[in-house]
Amino acid sequence: MVVDIDDIQEVAVIGSGQMGRGIGAVAALAGYDVAINDIDESQLEEAKEQIQWSYEKAAENDPDVTEADTEAAFDRISFTTDQEDAVATADFVTEAAVEQQSVKEDIFGTLDEVAPDEAILSTNTSGLNITRLAEVTDRPDQVVGTHWFNPPMLMDLVEVIMTEYAPTEVGDTAEALIDSFGKTPIRCKMDIPSFIVNRLMRPYGEGAAWMVYRGEHSMREVDSAMKYKEGFPMGPFELADYTGGIQIRVEGEGDHLEDDRPMAYDTEVCPILHQLYEKGRYGRKAGAGYYDYSDQDEPDIPVDAGQGFDTLLVWAPIVNEAAKMVENDVASVEDIDTGARLGGNWPMGPLEKADEVGLETVLAKLTEVASRHEDTNKLAETLPCDLLVEKAKAGETFY
């Protein structure tokens, strides 16, 4: 028998890095007993210090959190290098180790042996293959993804990702647990590459990269327009530099092209990313990415640089990707837009944007964007999906 939300009292977290300790801190603050496990004793000591620091900040800045609350929460957390001990009585286990498929598969194989039979096992991953993680266990129907956003104490969103093995009830329990943490869960009903939010982020960055690669627009023009006209926290190039997106996309390209999950990517990344990568321009931490940071911490993006830029050139492919997820029953309209707003801090969701400007307008812009691609696969990827075409023809909206 699989645990229900009413049965969950103890939570275990495997990995005490930035994500793992943050997840553990959130769970303990919500009233759960928490065991945080790591093979590195020094990492566990750092986790203790960081959790105490984050609790102090929460008591200072959140009127709903008192010092007594955080002290009680910290007392509910145990730290151990013994994985079997950490999960011995856990009802819900979250693996938050390094983002490598093989490492996570090894951990799940062990967890399946030592965790209680009824416990749900989850993985905090931003896009790795959860189905394969489920398949290394004897309980694939009790494995889900829980993609937290960084930092867990501050970010409100958590994606709950299902596989073909897990019944709806297991996803419901995971969502109820996330909700009890005071976070907002959204459901990705299918294990697809990148899930919901990061799947929207891909055309945000890649579509802009192709425009610059073809010499149609400048980086500052695009970044300025999306940041100052549209209200995004960062333009696509500034964001890629901040997150190390160039390195992530190039080094993960082979994995994406070999992915056998539904809606797998079948096109290569824009050549400009390879050009930057080969020069060691990985982003801000490397001193240069799309922008040069040798003498600045932030890129110089003039407010008026993007006044003449048509932001629908960026929005339209994102709307198309969102519509594909609805068409394939990956996620609901509401969850997709909630993910964009809470996970990406976007001014609105892509399907809200589509309704605002009109689906016929979006279709026209998508056709324009697609016509600029000579590569057959990339052309097909950017063409409007059937659902978008049907809704536009019928004069319908997403809401």
Name residues whose C-beta falls within 8 Å of residue 86's C-beta, 6 or more positions apart in sequence.
Answer: 12, 14, 35, 36, 37, 78, 80
Return the CATH number of the domain spanning residue range 194-399: 1.10.1040.50
Mean pLDDT of the chain: 95
Confidence band for 342, pLDDT divided at 50, 70 and 90: very high
Q: Rounded distance, CA 25 to CA 224, Å?
A: 37
- pTM assigned to the model: 0.96
- pLDDT band at residue 382 using 50, 70 and 90 as cut-offs: confident
Contact 115, 90 (CB under 8 A): yes
Average pLDDT over residues 128-144: 98
- For the chain, give every domain's residue range: 5-188, 194-399
Q: 194-399: same fold as 5-188?
A: no
Q: What is the set of active-site residues? A: 126, 147, 159, 198
C-alpha 56/C-alpha 92 separation (Å) is 26
Measured distance CA(290)–CA(245) in Å, rounded: 10
- In the structure, what pLDDT confidence band is assigned to residue 269 with cuts at 50, 70 and 90? confident
- For residue 296, pLDDT beyond 80: yes
Q: What is the pLDDT of residue 344?
A: 96
Q: Which residue has the higher pLDDT, 248 or 117?
A: 117
In order of 252, 278, 341, 371, 373, the CA distances from 378 in angstroms are: 18, 23, 27, 10, 6
Is the CB of residue 193 less than 8 Å from the CB of residue 264?
yes
The distance from CA 334 to its chain's CA centroid, rounded to whole angstroms, is: 17
The answer on pLDDT for 381 being more than 90 is no
pLDDT reported for residue 268: 79
pLDDT at 48: 98
Work out whether the CA dihedral 305, 307, 313, 318 comes out positive or negative: positive
Strands 184-188 and 157-161: parallel
Chain-centre distance of CA 219, in angstroms? 24
Query: pLDDT grade, residue 379 (50/70/90)?
Result: low
User: Pairing between strand 157-161 and 143-148?
Assistant: antiparallel
Q: What CATH code would you report for 5-188?
A: 3.40.50.720
Question: Quick one: pLDDT band at residue 24, thresholds 50, 70, 90?
Answer: very high
pLDDT at 377: 65
Lowest-confidence region among 51-65, 306-320, 367-381: 367-381
Q: If you ran DSSP here, which 8-state letter would residue 164 be given?
A: S
Cα 212 from chain centroid?
25
- Residues 207-225 have a mean pLDDT of 95
Average pLDDT over residues 282-307: 95
